[in-house]
Amino acid sequence: MISQEAIDYCRRNGVRIVSYSHLLQDLPFKKQIGIYKNLDFLFMSSKEGSKYFADNGINSFYIPLGFYPDQYFKTVISKKKYNVSFMGSAFKNLPVKKR
């Protein structure tokens, strides 16, 4: 995330520390509180995570994921040979949890 040396430099020089985070909702937020207490502002794409951090004294705000529709061209569908969909994630693959 950020070294203690960098945090100290920012504090001495009045530089705000800001993060935009896409945390998975099932992460153990309690283990991360100490890390995020170093931030001046935390913006999250998770309502649950943002509320949890705000309730625990962190300056956290919910900002949903989004895009600017005017920056994309209308998809022109021509004759299709195959029905194909693509799916992905902003996160690296995590091991599957055993139940």
Average pLDDT of every residue of the chain: 77
Cα distances (Å, whole numbers) of residue 26 to 34, 49, 50: 18, 9, 13
Mean pLDDT along residues 86-92: 58
Mean pLDDT along residues 88-94: 59
> Would strands 18-21 and 60-62 be described as parallel, antiparallel, or unpaired?
unpaired
| Position 90 confidence tier, pLDDT thresholds 50, 70, 90 | low
Instruction: Tell whether the model's pLDDT for residue 26 goes beyond 70.
Output: no
The share of the chain scoring above pLDDT 70, in percent, equals: 61
pLDDT in tens, 31-66: 778 888 889 999 988 888 888 889 989 999 998 877
The total number of structural domains that make up the chain = 1
Structure-model confidence comparison of residues 97 and 46, the more confident one: 46
Instruction: Tell whether the model's pLDDT for residue 14 goes beyond 60.
Output: yes
H/E run at residue 60 = strand 60-62
Range of the domain at 75: 1-99
